[in-house]
Copies of this chain bind each other. A is one copy, B any other.
Amino acid sequence: MILKQDAESPAEATSKGPPKPRLTAGQQSVLDVLQHQSQPLSAQALHGLMRRQQPIGLATIYRALDALKLLGLVQHRVTLTGETLYSAVEHDHHYLTCLQCGVSVPVDTCPVKELEAQLQGASSFRIYYHTLEFFGVCDQCEV
């Protein structure tokens, strides 16, 4: 039993951009978890978290994440191990990752927002989010 709560639902009041369709139960549920999460989560991690409170199938989570990306509500990034991590678009977090041991440290700056605004105007795209990640080798792994 999943309750719809559109308290934080997409801008329908301040109709900025095309009207967003109502979210399905699964989408609402997934979005809610991501919005209250400080760290990005994989689909399977979401499944593990959600299944106790609100039983939901893994396939539904994948579908919800896809839909939420398309609505500009969720963003993704891919780890070195190949799993995709999702977070609410509001969270703009970037990392510096070691190619050897995989350790990631957060980068608190983001020099991309301005360029994103420029591109938004110059291109025919509606831009929702960006990924920015640095790769190298940490001193632990240095030869």
Contact = CB atoms under 8 A, between A and B. Distances in A.
Contacts of A119: 96, 107, 134
A6 to B, nearest CB: 19
A22 to B, nearest CB: 14
Given A18-B143, A115-B111, A116-B134, A128 B105 contact: no
A99 to B, nearest CB: 5
A112 interface: yes
A70 B123 CA distance: 35
A111 B119 CA distance: 13
Interface string A102-143: 000101010110111011000111111111111111110011
A58 interface: no
B143 A125 contact: no
Contact of A123 (B75, B96, B132): B96
B128 A131 contact: no
Interface of A: 18, 69-70, 72, 75-76, 78, 82, 96, 98-100, 105, 107, 109, 111-112, 114-116, 118-119, 123-139, 142-143
